[in-house]
Amino acid sequence: MLRDITLGQYFPGNSVFHRTDPRMKIVLTALYIAAVFLADSWWSYLVMVMGAVLIILFSRIPLRIVISGFKAVMLIIVFTAILNIFWTSGDNEPLWSFWKIRIYTEGLEHAGKMVLRLACLLMGTNVLVSYTTSPIALTDGIERLFAPLKLIKLPVHEFAMMMTIALRFIPTLIEETDKIMNAQKARGADFTEGNLVRRVKALIPILIPLFVSAFMRAGELATAMECRCYNGGEGRTRMTVLKTRFTDWLMLIIFIAYGVGIVLIRN
């Protein structure tokens, strides 16, 4: 169950998105998110979905992986859809009514659009950021893109480092959680039965060992980093030098065109 969460999982590859400068990818992602939120007519939705499909195709990430990342937030999407179906009222006769519940065509339309929007948002950004950008490249991109903010004393490097480490330890901690859960199950713990309060209580014996071990890992990692001469961001160089190439700028133009296209066919 826990292995379904693929956030922060990089899939090595050599697609056009893998090779895009991470700084540019952050800009592209921002454009993409803006475009997705600007879509409102069905035609603009069609363009939006096409964009998402093209992004997934060009990234050459296996579909199974894109979908598994989607599954983790399925519940939220389904919940949003249901809320939209029941809470939207329309001008025409309700499509279906029972007691106080009325479902209008507008509700279905809203729900459908919301699901599409969330799906495109999630899969698109996952592919643009998580799957095709190694977390270090991503952090590197963030650090460099936002470097000017250091002038107003924002700890840009520290923030980037924290992010890298968090991403690095997600799979490790997931594995650890699995191990602890199995150990507790072996001693008779039950995580699936009882009411909510009982189930939450059953999580305590998992969370406490997990936190203790996470703190111990953090301590050891800090020592190891010191041994590797880590001394903050000052005077640090990078192995990979970021260079924006022609294709990066071409990509930017395509994404701007995508956003403008969606805006133009809005209502």
Of residues 165 and 202, the one with the C-beta less far from another protein: 165
Q: CB of residue 94 vs another protein: minimum separation in angstroms? A: 51
* Helical segments of 126-155, H only: 135-145
Q: CB of residue 150 vs another protein: minimum separation in angstroms? A: 17
The position carrying tokens 């406490």 is 208
Q: CB of residue 100 vs another protein: minimum separation in angstroms? A: 51
Q: CB of residue 61 vs another protein: minimum separation in angstroms? A: 15
How many Å apart are CA 124 and CA 129, to the nearest integer?
8
Strands (E), 88-203: 96-98, 101-103
Of residues 29 and 213, the one with the C-beta less far from another protein: 213
Q: CB of residue 226 vs another protein: minimum separation in angstroms? A: 7
Q: CB of residue 143 vs another protein: minimum separation in angstroms? A: 12
Of residues 195 and 237, the one with the C-beta less far from another protein: 237
Q: Is residue 114 packed enough to be buried (19+ CB in 10 Å), middle (13-18) or exposed (0-12)?
A: middle
How many Å apart are CA 258 and CA 252, to the nearest integer?
10
Question: Could you tell me how far CA 172 lies from the centroid of its own chain?
Answer: 19
Residues that bind another protein (CB under 8 A): 10, 12, 134-136, 164-165, 167-168, 171-172, 175, 217, 220-221, 223-231, 235-241
Spatial contact of 181 and 206, defined as CB atoms under 8 Å apart: yes
Q: CB of residue 64 vs another protein: minimum separation in angstroms? A: 17
Of residues 79 and 211, the one with the C-beta less far from another protein: 211
Which of 99, 120, 105 is closest to 50 using CA atoms? 120
> Quick one: CA dihedral 169, 170, 175, 177, positive or negative?
positive
At how many degrees (to 10) do helices 42-59 and 246-264 cross?
A: 160
> Quick one: CA dihedral 183, 184, 185, 191, positive or negative?
negative
Of residues 188 and 235, the one with the C-beta less far from another protein: 235
Q: How many residues are there in the chain?
A: 267
Residue 191 phi/psi, 5-degree rounding, is -100, -5
Rg (the chain; Cα; Å): 23
Of residues 84 and 139, the one with the C-beta less far from another protein: 139
Of residues 34 and 224, the one with the C-beta less far from another protein: 224
